[in-house]
Amino acid sequence: MLANNHPVCLSQNEKDKRLRSSILISWDEFTYVIDCGPDFRQQMLREQVQSIDGVLFTHEHSDHTAGIDDLRPYCFQMGEVPVYLDQLTLQSLKQRFQYIFETKNRYPGAPKIQINLVDTIAFSLQNERVLPIKAMHGSLPITCFRFENFAYLTDVKTIDSSEKEKLKNLDVLIVNALRIEEHPTHFNLEEALRFVNEINPKKTYFTHISHKFGLHDVIQKNLPKNVFIAFDGLKIEV
């Protein structure tokens, strides 16, 4: 966090240097990103991502969408970049990034976006079935995603039992755990652990972590078996 002298912010451990949450998913020759926040450019440079096939958005908040302008280099490669999002997120992006969605008098260098609306129905990305999972981020509906036996959930505070049913038999669950103290719109550690016990995946990784969660190595020592703290640049094979 800017202008903050918390020990996590001052830590020299690379696992404590946390950019905004996002994930890149690859299979066969395909590559998709879930969320592109303000650190999207830095993340793509760090991982040397030469091409992507599209972006899935969980919700409208800036820490998950503000990097949309940095899709430009990928647009130069492929033309329109497919994005997958719900109607609420699309409305917000059209207001905040009007120049991207203009149909007349477009700025020539603006990113080109191919809109694909997502609701609760499974859809296909290339040869992969993707199942949307609906949850609540406080009072804001959000979309999380399941690929086969892997699921990515972020910014969750509550989730209906019918949506939890979609999370059975997971090999890997990634879910938010913002901090130790309770928060009005995010799982804290206690809530995240309770959720993990209920879903019972083989492995869980906590993401969307604030500095108030604490130092990576300290937290990891106190977590249950098969529950891990995610860190920037982590690679998981499923």
Distance from C-alpha of 36 to C-alpha of 57, rounded to nearest angstrom: 8
The pLDDT value given to residue 56:
98
CATH class of this structure's domain 20-118 = alpha beta
Q: Is the pTM of this model over 0.85?
A: yes
The DSSP-derived string for 10-48 is H---GGG------EEEEETTEEEEE---TTHHHHHHHTT
pLDDT in tens, the chain (238 residues): 899 999 999 999 999 999 999 999 999 999 999 999 999 999 999 999 999 999 999 999 999 999 999 999 999 999 999 999 999 999 999 999 999 999 888 888 899 999 999 999 999 999 999 999 999 999 999 999 999 999 999 999 999 999 999 999 999 999 999 999 999 999 999 999 999 999 999 999 999 999 999 999 999 999 999 999 999 999 999 9
Distance from C-alpha of 83 to C-alpha of 142, rounded to nearest angstrom: 15
> Which part of the chain has CATH 3.60.15.10?
20-118
Tokens linked to 125 = 């990305």
